[in-house]
Structure formats: C-alpha cells, structure tokens
C-alpha cells in the first residue's frame, strides 16, 4: 500500500486579465500544506477545499468545484460539456481514468459539415449552433467517479454552487475580457440578460452576476441525484435548446439517457527518474505529452533550457513528430484500433528522436507506423480550440485527482439551457474523408472526438504522486503540459515559476508559435534561421499544478486567468 508523506498541500494565488503579457506570479508558499486544490477561479477552489475540510474525498471536492466553475467560468466548462478524470487511490495504489467526453448522437452524418442530404454546409457557421452539440458527459463521469471514490453524500456537494448562483458573484476579469471582444454582444445573444448591460456592453469587472436558473438546475441535481440532470424536464429542455442556432441538432432524449461514461486504462511512460501517467485515447493529448518528453530526454543530453535556441529547436521538432503520429493514428478506441502501447514506448520515442536534425527543421514531417501491420489512415485535419478548465486536488490521505473539463470553444455552441451552456464538441471531429479513405477521428454514431485534454499525475521511484495537474487552452494544451513538466521535473522549478514562462507550441500544423509579449519571442530569429515557420501569437493557457516538496504540496494556477491554488 502506497501513501503520501504526512505533510501535504499548496498555495499560490494568481488572477489576471486576458493580457498575454501578464507574468507576475505570486511566489509559492514556503511551507506546503497537507491538502490542496487548484482551479481556474477562487470561488471554485474554495468550494473544493471546503469539501476536503468536511472529510470529503478529492472526487467530492472536484464535483463541488466543477459546479461552481460552470457558474463563474461558463465559457470554459460545465454540466453541458465533457470531462476527463484521472484518479489516484492511495490505499489501493490504483490509478484510474474515466472518460466523460461529449459524444455524437445515434444519428450522425459523415462530418459536422455534412448535412443529412449529404451536401456540405458552410464552414464558419457550422462551428456553432445546435448541430455542433455533443451528448454531454460531465455529469455521468462525475457520478461514476463519485460512486467509486466519493465519501460525502452526492446531494451535499451542490451547496456552494446554489448559494453563489442565488447570491451572485463578482464579474471575473477573465470572463469580462472574453465578453468584451469585438462582436461579443452580437454573437452571444442568449447571454445578454446574464452578462450584459442594457446598452449592450458587458457588465464591468466586479459587478454582481446572478443566475437563478442555474441554482434551480443545481437543486434538481442535488435532490434527484445524477439522474436529476435529465429528469424533471431536463432532457427535453436540452434537446429543445439544441434545436436552435445554425442547423438543429440530431440529438434525442434517448441519446442523453443512453450515454455512459467509460473507465479506460491510463497510459504511462518514463521521463528522467519519474513515471508520467495521463489519459489514453480518445485523448491524443496524453500520447503527445509522453512522446515529447521521451524524445527530448533522448536527445537533450541532460540540458533542458527553453531559453536556448538549440533546445527549443529540439522541443519543436519532437512536437511536430508527435503531432504527426496523433493525426494519423488516434481516434475513439471503441471504434479504431489505436496503437497506444507502441506510440508511448521508450524504444519508439528514441527511434523518432534519432531522426531529428540538430541544425535544421524537417521540411516534411511524416507519421510513424509503430506496428508492423499498422493500418495507414488518412491524417486528421481537425484542431481542438481554446476554452476548457483544469482542476487538481490532493487530500490528507494521499489521494490525488486531475480533471480537465470543457464545453470546447468559449461558450460552446452558444446555446443556453437552464442556466448552463451546451458544448460544441462535435467540431473536434475531422472533416469528411475523401472517397476511399478512412480517418481515425471521423464522425460516427455515438463516437467521441479526440481531444488535446490530458490530465496528468507524475510518480516518483517509490510510486508516490509528486506532480498533479494539467491545462486548458485548446490544441496547445499538449505543449503547456509538456513544457511545465520539463520545468518542474528536469529543472526543479516551482509550479508558479513553470506556469509563468512564455509558451512555445507546435500544435498549429507547420508552425512554431511563440507566446506574444513574453521572453519566448526572443527565440524567433534563431528558430527561423533553423528553417521553422515562426509566428508570435497570444497563447492563453489554463494551467493548474500541484507539486510535492519535502514540506508538503505547493501549487499554482495559470497567471493568464483568474485561478488560485489553496490548501491547509
């Protein structure tokens, strides 16, 4: 039986605007705490910590935190979306992962842009509206995790969200920034009553926001159990809401009631003296993170310096190789045979890393075929986009939890029902395949699209969790996580130091993106000289990590958003 040290926990507070140049993290606590929670908003973090203080488990704390996040950070996650859960049970030394991604309904076309008559729909409008809504999975997966790991009664976990929805909460800086974007009032018509003033401007930062409809939904869930999400007219309301917007949904009430969360085997691989564990497919994010870590270890010679152009080049080339592999091979494993073990193996990573030219970027990056008789699939051209939220929790008993949760694009489908947003997860499927080809991530009935989300737990040689966390932020999630792990594990950085660094990402095909307004942009000339197509862009991550030290857990939330890590 494995247990954490007696001392645990963490503290770092960070809240900021959308400005990509904001980089002033608070220092990590000098002494760690025994238990800790990090989320993307202080009210959610406090709700989770309150459950731990009442004797609840990390799953109990995560449910309370998620319900508050769906209220105060509605653009990113909620019960109308999907979630991935990675859980460590210290008493049994068992790592479990649970898949609650939103899924296609039983009636689905060849792609999101393919209409029921087989004709292609316009691209831009197809990113929003009813047809984009996947069957939500967050309530189902949280209920599964609670049945197995919960300690408090289900109905006791919704009090904070109900109270905050009724009393109101201050308009967050990050949400205000999104609502202030050009065209937001026009594009978010269903949200005007909640978040906009009479003149069409967003409520100012600090103004009180109330959501009584959300409070009613939370009460229904608290009193009716997980089934309360769909009972009492809930399923009908979701289906009716999904008929609005560009093209009505093909989802039915039966789709909602037939949805099941799935337990899947986590995927793990070595990095330095550690074992990094994360989500397997439909997450491609986990495999990309593991491949990048192993490839850079194979070639870095023990020096992992993101300020050095030589290492940045190595990291970028490793990322391109891993992305090529995932686009070729990764899809829903219930529909596609994904070579998970081969893609994550150290031998395969070393073979891929050996092909990296120290001096020049590869002109063409091809996927590998890690199995002798691997089926050659057409590459997936879809690119998951930003939004999403991250929760990480450790408790006094040594249990740990990382959840990444999403409605996909900011505000998902832009369809509001009973106080919460519906996702637009079906945009994560690939485009319709050309005749005669197959794509691992093409849409099909009840299939789940791939995702970059990769909740992660890292273990030391003794099998104890030493780092718990993950990130929001769309396709670049894989880089946000991989680079943060390199900083914390290879370079000994605190979470606050790791999360505040400027980003480098290869998630955009054929490009190396550097975070605009940060020191990372100093790499641009040297990378361009090596043949990389470099661009400077905002990279608004949503990282949240806890790290064990000799005195307990320390942690940080991403300084680019409103989050906070708290412990006791």
Sign of CA dihedral 265, 267, 270, 275: negative
**What is the rounded distance in angstroms from the CA atom of residue 80 to the CA atom of residue 138?**
7
Rounded CA-CA distance 109/111 in Å is 5
pLDDT digits (tens, 9 = 90+) for 531-552: 999 999 999 999 999 999 999 9
Task: Give percent above pLDDT 70 in the chain.
Answer: 91
pLDDT at res. 461: 96
Residue 21: band (very low, low, confident or very high) from pLDDT cuts 50, 70, 90: very low
- Partners of 469 in the beta sheet? 456, 545
- Identify whether the C-beta of residue 526 lies closer than 8 Å to the C-beta of residue 442: no
C-alpha to C-alpha distance for 542 and 73, rounded to whole angstroms: 12
Q: Which carries the bigger pLDDT value, residue 439 or residue 177?
A: 177
Residues 6+ apart with CB under 8 A from 178: 18, 75, 184, 410, 411
pLDDT-derived band at 17, boundaries 50, 70, 90: very low
Query: What are the pLDDT digits (tens) for 52-98?
Result: 999 999 999 999 999 999 999 999 999 999 999 999 999 999 999 99
- Give residue for tokens 């219930």: 334
* pLDDT of the residue at 434: 77
Gap between the Cα atoms of 151 and 196, Å rounded: 40
| pLDDT score recorded for residue 174 | 95
Residue with tokens 């999630």: 477
CB 21 within 8 A of CB 517: yes
Residue 372 has pLDDT above 90, yes or no: no
Q: Which letter does DSSP use for residue 256 in this model?
A: H
**Matching residue, tokens 């906070």:** 564
Answer for the pair 544, 14: CB distance below 8 angstroms, yes or no. no
DSSP-derived secondary structure for 477-504: HHHHHHHHHIIIIIS---HHHHHHSPPE
Backbone angles phi, psi at 321, to 5 degrees: -65, -45
Q: What is the dihedral of CA 486, 492, 498, 503, to 10 degrees?
A: -40
Do residues 400 and 87 make contact, with C-beta atoms less than 8 angstroms apart? yes
Q: Are 407 and 80 in contact (CB under 8 A)?
A: yes
75 with 394: CB under 8 angstroms? no
pLDDT score, position 256 = 98
Beta bridge partners of 33: 553
Q: What percent of the chain has pLDDT over 90?
A: 81
Does pLDDT of 381 surpass 70? no
Query: What's the pLDDT at 3?
Result: 28
What do you get for the CA distance between the two ends of the chain, in Å? 25
From the list 99, 101, 81, 78, the residue with the least C-alpha distance to 145 is 99
| Lowest-pLDDT range of 108-112, 142-146, 155-159 | 108-112
**What pLDDT score does 245 carry?**
79
Q: What is the pLDDT of residues 196-235, one digit of tens each?
A: 999 999 999 999 999 999 999 999 999 999 999 999 999 9
* Closest to 27 in 3D by CA, of 12, 7, 46, 9: 12
Mean pLDDT, rounded, of the chain: 90
Candidate from 14-28, 93-107, 165-179, 358-372 with smallest mean pLDDT: 14-28
- Per-residue CA distances from 337 to 11, 148, 342, 362, 374 (Å): 42, 28, 12, 29, 9
Q: Say what the pLDDT of residue 299 is.
A: 97
Mapping DSSP to helix (H, G, I), strand (E, B) and coil, where does residue 301 land? coil
For the cut 50, the answer to whether the pLDDT of residue 10 exceeds it is no
Q: pLDDT, tens digit, for every residue of 427-450? A: 999 887 777 778 899 999 999 999
b/e burial code for range 278-304 (CB count within 10 A of at least 16 → b): bbbbbbbbbbbbbbbbbbbbbbbeeeb
Decide if 440 contacts 449 (C-beta within 8 A): no
Tokens at 52, concatenated: 């731990």
Alpha-carbon distance of 328 to 347, in angstroms, equals: 19
Distance (Å, whole) CA 12 – CA 21? 19
SS3 call for 522: helix
Contact 337, 311 (CB under 8 A): no
- What is the per-residue pLDDT for 20? 31
Residue 13 predicted with pLDDT over 90: no
Query: For residue 208, what are its two tokens?
Result: 């009180």
pTM over 0.85: yes
Nearest to 85 by CA among 411, 335, 457: 457
- Tokens linked to 341: 């073990």
- The mean pLDDT of 30-39, rounded to a whole number, is 86
What's the alpha-carbon Rg for the chain, to the nearest Å?
22
* Token representation of residue 406: 């999403």
Q: Provide the pLDDT for residue 380.
A: 54
Q: Is the pLDDT of residue 14 over 70?
A: no
Question: What is the C-alpha separation between 142 and 62, in angstroms, rounded?
Answer: 8
**3-state SS record for 7-21:** CCECCEECCCCCCCC
Least confident span in 185-189, 463-467, 552-556:
185-189
């Amino acid at each position: 039986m494995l247990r954490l040290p007696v001392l645990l926990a963490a503290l770092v507070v960070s809240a900021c605007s959308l400005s990509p140049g904001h980089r002033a993290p608070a220092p990590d606590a000098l002494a760690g705490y025994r238990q800790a929670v990090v989320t993307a908003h202080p009210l959610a973090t406090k709700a989770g910590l309150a459950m731990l203080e009442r004797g609840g488990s990390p799953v109990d704390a995560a449910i309370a935190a998620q319900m508050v996040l769906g209220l105060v950070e509605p653009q990113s996650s909620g019960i109308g979306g999907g979630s991935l859960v990675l859980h460590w049970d210290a008493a049994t030394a068992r790592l479990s992962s649970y898949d609650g991604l939103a899924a296609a309904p039983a009636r689905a076309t060849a792609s999101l842009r393919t209409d029921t008559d087989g004709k292609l729909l316009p691209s831009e409008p197809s990113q929003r509206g009813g047809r984009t809504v996947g069957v939500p999975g967050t309530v189902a997966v949280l209920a599964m995790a609670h049945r197995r790991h919960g300690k408090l009664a289900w109905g006791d976990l919704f009090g904070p969200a109900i109270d905050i929805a009724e009393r109101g909460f201050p308009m967050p800086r990050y949400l205000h920034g999104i609502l202030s974007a050009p065209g937001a009032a026009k594009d978010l018509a269903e949200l005007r009553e909640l978040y906009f003033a009479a003149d069409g401007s967003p409520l100012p930062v600090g103004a009180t926001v109330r959501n009584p409809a959300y409070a009613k939904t939370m009460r229904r869930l608290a009193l009716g159990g997980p089934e309360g999400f769909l009972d009492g007219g809930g399923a009908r309301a979701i289906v009716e809401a999904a008929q609005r917007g560009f093209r009505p949904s093909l989802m039915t009430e039966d789709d909602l009631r037939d949805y099941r969360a799935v337990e899947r085997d986590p995927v793990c691989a070595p990095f330095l003296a550690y074992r990094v564990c994360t989500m397997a497919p439909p997450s491609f994010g986990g495999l990309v993170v593991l491949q990048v870590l192993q490839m850079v270890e194979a070639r870095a010679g023990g020096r992992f310096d993101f300020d050095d152009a030589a290492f940045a080049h190595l990291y970028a080339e490793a990322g391109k190789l891993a992305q090529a592999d995932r686009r070729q091979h990764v899809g829903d494993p219930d529909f596609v045979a994904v070579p998970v073990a081969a893609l994550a193996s150290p031998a395969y990573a070393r073979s891929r890393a050996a092909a990296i030219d120290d001096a020049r970027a590869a002109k063409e990056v091809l996927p590998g075929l890690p199995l002798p008789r691997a089926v050659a699939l057409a590459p997936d051209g879809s690119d998951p986009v930003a939004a999403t939220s991250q929760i990480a929790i450790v408790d006094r008993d040594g249990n740990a939890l990382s959840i990444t949760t999403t409605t996909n694009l900011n505000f998902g489908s832009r369809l509001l029902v009973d106080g919460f947003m519906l996702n637009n997860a079906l945009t994560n499927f690939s485009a319709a395949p050309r005749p005669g080809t197959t794509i691992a991530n093409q849409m099909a009935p009840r299939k789940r699209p791939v995702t970059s989300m990769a909740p992660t737990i890292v273990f030391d040689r003794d099998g104890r969790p030493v780092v718990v966390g993950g990130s929001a932020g769309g396709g670049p999630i894989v880089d946000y996580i991989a680079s943060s792990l390199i900083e914390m594990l290879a370079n000994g950085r605190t979470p606050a130091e790791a999360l505040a660094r400027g980003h480098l990402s290869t998630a955009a095909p054929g490009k190396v993106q550097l975070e605009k307004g940060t020191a990372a942009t100093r790499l641009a000339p040297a990378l361009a000289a090596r043949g990389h197509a470099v661009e400077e862009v905002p990279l608004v991550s949503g990282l949240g990590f806890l790290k064990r030290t000799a005195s307990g857990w320390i942690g940080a939330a991403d300084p680019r958003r409103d989050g906070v890590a708290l412990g006791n």
